[in-house]
Structure 1
Amino acid sequence: MTAAELRSARWFAPDDLRSFGHRSRMMQLGYSEEEFLGRPIVGILSTWSELNSCHGHFPERVENVRRGVLAAGGFPVEMPALSVDESFTKPTSMLYRNLLAMETEEIIRSHPLDGVVLLGGCDKTTPGLVMGAITAGVPMIFLPAGPMLRGHYAGRVLGSGSDAWKYWDERRAGNVTDEEWLGIQGGIARSVGTCMTMGTASTMTAITDALGLTLPGASSIPAADSGHQRMAAECGRRIVDMVWEDLRPEAIITEAAVQNAAKVAMATGCSTNAVVHLIAMARRAGVDLTLDHLDALGRTTPLIANVRPAGKDYLMEDFFYAGGLRALMKQMEAMLDTSALTVTGKTLGDNLEGARVYDDDVIRPLSNPVYAEGSLALLRGNLCPDGAVIKPAACDPKFHVHEGPALVFDSYPEMKKAVEDENLDVTPDHVMVLRNAGPLGGPGFPEWGMLPIPKALIRKGHRDMLRISDARMSGTSYGACVLHVAPESYVGGPLALLRTGDKVRLDLPNRRLDMLVDAAELERRRAAWTPPQPRYERGWGYMFSRHVTQADKGCDFDFLERGFGRAAGEPDIF
């Protein structure tokens, strides 16, 4: 790549009126031609906002990246992108993942950017940024936000999300005082950064790392560690070299890289959300990843990261000290395609040289896994003909094969009210079911799938039961939860036909989920079913409702997937 071949040169180099205007406006911003003309222009896409606590350090990281870009001879420009925070966005941040993906793609396409550094981490920002950058096709490198420090309260180590659910149940049981609850509230998230359990944020940054889109091992560095600042500056230096090398995502995100990422996800005890996001990312790159592919990998990939919630003892800070993702990948190197290219310009195998495990209880050897198979299993049956997902390692094994009567709820408010009723007619054998919570029914596929254990059972000491929904759940959650039932009930999937009292059977070893209802009866129910009213009649929700795909296809928009139609290509400049 030469200076004349830079993408940005189409904006700035010609001796014509349009380029005169571009150069003039750069001078208006206080820059001379020597600073930007003929240099790689690097967009720093930051998903910072004052309501995104996970990304509270991004203004500083932008400056770290900026100094790296300048040191390597590039010209950095910060470009704000939608901050899809997990904590405050309602009804769910998943409703806006595709909006971030579209914005990322269009920011890159419409501006004179030769390469981009993507700053994300809070759950949906990672796939949203990566999906958009894949389609835009310029050199890119992902800078993960990094996990927060361990939580602490009263001598106890707390894991964000996971311990919130745990202690909330204990509070409902009357075992946690108001003072203790306030102390847990203040101690569970005590620094910038994403959840320090192996929730969706750590899962997705690990997947992006394993895809070869980050600097090696970058996903493991805690947000508050000074190494995170140095990594950010290195991202700035490296992206300039990637521009000159013309190293684009299409050369990195291959079928081999996707297979590597899926195996690493299984070995980490990944969030169930990995299924939806990895499928969407792969499909953007033209790799046909399916639920069946993921299930096959899950059956042969042991879980070796002993990190909560699938692991029992440790958090992401411990994982980093034990060697981080590079050490985990080194441990399973024989299972990976080490010839896969990465953003370093080197292969995965090159990047793993010298990696080692410093604590083999945190990162287990393949011969001593936390769980013999991967952390996810994909189900099919007459309740989920297009699939459903469960996290076997994070639930009580007694539910791996279970049959019981359904207790069905049509909405989250209905369910929430019922579980607080101490006189609810429910037993530990019941199967709680929430429907109308999928991509369209939620709307937006909210994280409602970890249905609360009814107070009537909590008071008797029960802490798990089989739960089924077409919703997602937080990656920090745990329990016998079957999720992502597809097709969802809102569009007439079989879950819409289930009634309270019907027997439901889960057979995890055989990957089956069925309602034990006569086929003729199901046909009668289907004939009587009426579609619900649309959730949206205007705006973003209207677009989302008409174009989002189901969970098994990654919930991308149909018109953004490869093969839908001819891409617009580069904008004309005149």
Structure 2
Amino acid sequence: MTHKAPKDLRSARWFAPDDLRSFGHRSRMMQLGYSEEDFRDKPVIGVLNTWSELNTCHSHFKERVQDVKRGVFQAGGFPVEMPSLSVDESFTKPTSMLYRNMLAMETEEMIRSHPLDGVVLMGGCDKTTPGLVMGAISAGVPMVYLPAGPMLRGNYAGKILGSGSDAWKYWDERRAGNISDDEWLGIQGGIARSAGTCMTMGTASTMTAIADAMGLTLPGASSIPAVDAGHQRMGADCGRRIVEMVWEDLTPDRIITDAACRNAAVVAMATGCSTNAVVHLIAMARRAGVELSLDDLDALGRVTPLIANVRPSGRDYLMEDFFYAGGLRALMKQIEDRLDLTALTITGKTLGENLEGAVVYNDDVIRPLSNPVYEEGSLAVLRGNLCPDGAVIKPAACDPKFHFHEGPALVFDSYPEMKAAIDDETLEVTPDHVLVLRNAGPQGGPGFPEWGMLPIPKALIKQGHRDMLRISDARMSGTSYGACVLHVAPESYVGGPLALLKTGDIVRLDLANRRLDMLVEEVELEARRAAWQAPVPRFERGYGYLFQRHVTQADKGCDFDFLQSDFGRTAGEPDIY
């Protein structure tokens, strides 16, 4: 049932009045070759497209946008494609995370400043999902998220390869001298074979699953492979649905509720999500005024089994297999007793209604609750004198022997220092050491880079070791694995306790009790704290200058403080718009 009349459309403020300013707007539309019949009294739909020639995950978006526009036209809307910042994961240095908030700002401002009644957000590569969604939440118009979809399975010499995860695994073998130049070249060419995001349960698939579980995509859209014909049909469906949502005035504030955010967190845990989910989910929730905390996520993780047997937390399968096994709808059906099925979604129906008829076709890929991959969820949150504001670990993706570990710290102050030392075969290091990288957080990185999966020292690699405890205030790729403690907060660059740790100090990880501590007397720590000096700021101009002065710490989602929902005007739009 429609609730809006054409005169109530947001775009009518640009096109309907009989005044000079609206004359100019209509005239410029005619300059583009359109007649008033094309755009007057119709929902104007912005299609925010994060395609670029350097974003491999979105290489199909140049064509997929046509599917979206076809759907918009079919439903009686008027689509306008608007290129958005393409925050690619593969090529952006020092890290794409530096630009997530820039994409969020751009998305919000593009929507606010243009005659858009609703938007289709085209994303998928790691930071594009949270960036687009955060901006659209703040803008407040009806939105549909279109996920890029995972690429096809990798393949080399008859072996199935998982993007990211197998890169790290085979790189260790390369460093150990077990892989030839020809083999390395073959793996390089076989690990990523089509358009789409990483086909492991990395950050991309994690975040699109979160958007799906939150009710922001068409049901199950996050699971469809990028090059499947069903993905094209889903694109057109997104176009048709957003037009209906405009007439229904179905805005993000009605969908992104406390229940929706908790549903997303539970689903994330059950999928074996990326550690990056913590930062992005908190940021997305807070944009909607939902107070989701690290402790909330840890509590949900303790009672949510991991049931998606997808690498890297799972052992055997990839996202293509997950789709064939029934996809995200099937997984949510398995855990529906843990979800709030009354949560509203972009379909206008509840989550429970969207899950009707979902079936698991392979119960080794999507496990029943009676046979989980891991008894608890994917992530755990640690506290202690090394991380008073929290740190994150992925227990299911590391050797269980490190769930309790004590060992001497080997501390590096920068990535170049660490990289040089790790490849030095004379480095004095044992498997019991705890590798520590600091000054790699939101401000220190700069931008919170994915350096947290510190390489195993070459000397230990050659002895056959493939895991050890590693700690940092950095992030790591969602395709990574191992005993890596990440997101230590506050970060060392701003004087967090990690800045006080010294090589040789004993560090204790006690996963069962969610503790991470340095076994150093408080008197000694106070002396070190008094002697600590703040480093020189990373940036002196531009966006980086803005970033380092306003980015929040990892436990708060790394959003800009002035963009959170409790800052400044939160209702309506300024009169100038």
Task: Give the TM-score normalised by the residue count of structure 1.
Answer: 0.99
Between the aligned partners of 2:216 and 2:571, the Cα distance in structure 1 is 25
Q: Work out whether 1:77 is the aligned partner of 2:80.
A: yes
Report Cα offsets for 1:148-189 as digits up to 9, x if no partner. 000000000000000000000000001110000000000000
Aligned-pair CA distance for 1:569: 4.2
Please list every run of 5 or more consecutive structure 1 residues that lacks an aligned counterpart in the other structure: none
Aligned residue pairs, count = 574
Aligned-pair CA distance for 1:94: 0.2
Between the aligned partners of 1:440 and 1:349, the Cα distance in structure 2 is 41
Aligned residue among 139, 142, 156 for 1:139: 142
Give the structure 1 partner of residue 183 of structure 2: 180
Report Cα offsets for 1:170-217 as digits up to 9, x if no partner. 000011100000000000000000000000000000000000000000
Aligned-pair CA distance for 1:259: 0.6
Give the structure 2 partner of residue 46 of structure 1: 49
* Structure 1 contact 110–571 (Cα < 8 Å) conserved: no
Aligned-pair CA distance for 1:59: 1.0
Between the aligned partners of 2:12 and 2:544, the Cα distance in structure 1 is 38
Give the structure 2 partner of residue 124 of structure 1: 127
Give the structure 1 partner of residue 543 of structure 2: 540
Aligned-pair CA distance for 1:563: 1.3
Between the aligned partners of 1:277 and 1:390, the Cα distance in structure 2 is 16
Aligned-pair CA distance for 1:391: 0.0
* Structure 1 contact 304–370 (Cα < 8 Å) conserved: yes
Give the structure 1 partner of residue 300 of structure 2: 297
> Partner letter of residue 94 of structure 1?
M
Listed as ranges, the matches of 1:473-488 within 5 Å are 473-488=476-491
Give the structure 1 partner of residue 246 of structure 2: 243
Give the structure 2 partner of residue 208 of structure 1: 211
Between the aligned partners of 2:324 and 2:546, the Cα distance in structure 1 is 45
Listed as ranges, the matches of 1:156-555 within 5 Å are 156-555=159-558
Please list every run of 5 or more consecutive structure 2 residues that lacks an aligned counterpart in the other structure: none
Amino-acid identity (%): 83
Aligned residue among 60, 64, 70 for 1:57: 60
Aligned-pair CA distance for 1:355: 0.3
SS in 1 for 2:512: helix
Aligned-pair CA distance for 1:570: 2.8
* Structure 1 contact 10–573 (Cα < 8 Å) conserved: no
Between the aligned partners of 1:34 and 1:10, the Cα distance in structure 2 is 17
SS in 2 for 1:302: coil
Aligned-pair CA distance for 1:571: 5.1
Between the aligned partners of 1:487 and 1:410, the Cα distance in structure 2 is 16
Report Cα offsets for 1:94-147 as digits up to 9, x if no partner. 000000000000000000000000000000000000000000000000000000
SS in 2 for 1:510: coil
Between the aligned partners of 2:18 and 2:52, the Cα distance in structure 1 is 39
Between the aligned partners of 1:573 and 1:274, the Cα distance in structure 2 is 36
Between the aligned partners of 1:513 and 1:287, the Cα distance in structure 2 is 28
Between the aligned partners of 1:215 and 1:188, the Cα distance in structure 2 is 29
Aligned-pair CA distance for 1:565: 1.3
Between the aligned partners of 1:357 and 1:108, the Cα distance in structure 2 is 39
- C-alpha RMSD over aligned residues: 0.7
Aligned-pair CA distance for 1:567: 4.3
Aligned residue among 138, 146, 151 for 1:148: 151
Aligned-pair CA distance for 1:573: 6.0
Between the aligned partners of 2:534 and 2:488, the Cα distance in structure 1 is 18
Between the aligned partners of 1:564 and 1:222, the Cα distance in structure 2 is 39
SS in 2 for 1:393: helix
Between the aligned partners of 2:478 and 2:143, the Cα distance in structure 1 is 26
SS in 2 for 1:171: helix
* Structure 1 contact 109–571 (Cα < 8 Å) conserved: no
SS in 1 for 2:45: strand
* Structure 1 contact 211–257 (Cα < 8 Å) conserved: yes
Q: Work out whether 1:36 is the aligned partner of 2:36.
A: no
Aligned-pair CA distance for 1:228: 0.1
> Partner letter of residue 437 of structure 1?
A
Report Cα offsets for 1:531-551 as digits up to 9, x if no partner. 000000110000000000000
Q: Work out whether 1:87 is the aligned partner of 2:128.
A: no
Between the aligned partners of 1:403 and 1:168, the Cα distance in structure 2 is 27
Aligned-pair CA distance for 1:562: 1.3
> Partner letter of residue 303 of structure 1?
L
> Partner letter of residue 447 of structure 1?
E
Report Cα offsets for 1:251-280 as digits up to 9, x if no partner. 000000001000000000000000000000
Between the aligned partners of 1:321 and 1:329, the Cα distance in structure 2 is 15
Between the aligned partners of 1:398 and 1:563, the Cα distance in structure 2 is 43
Between the aligned partners of 1:418 and 1:570, the Cα distance in structure 2 is 54
Between the aligned partners of 1:464 and 1:424, the Cα distance in structure 2 is 17
Between the aligned partners of 2:384 and 2:239, the Cα distance in structure 1 is 49
Report Cα offsets for 1:351-375 as digits up to 9, x if no partner. 0000000000000001110000001
Between the aligned partners of 2:45 and 2:565, the Cα distance in structure 1 is 26
Aligned-pair CA distance for 1:525: 0.4
Give the structure 2 partner of residue 24 of structure 1: 27
* Structure 1 contact 299–374 (Cα < 8 Å) conserved: yes
> Partner letter of residue 238 of structure 1?
R
Give the structure 1 partner of residue 565 of structure 2: 562
Q: Work out whether 1:8 is the aligned partner of 2:6.
A: no
Between the aligned partners of 1:222 and 1:567, the Cα distance in structure 2 is 37
SS in 1 for 2:517: strand
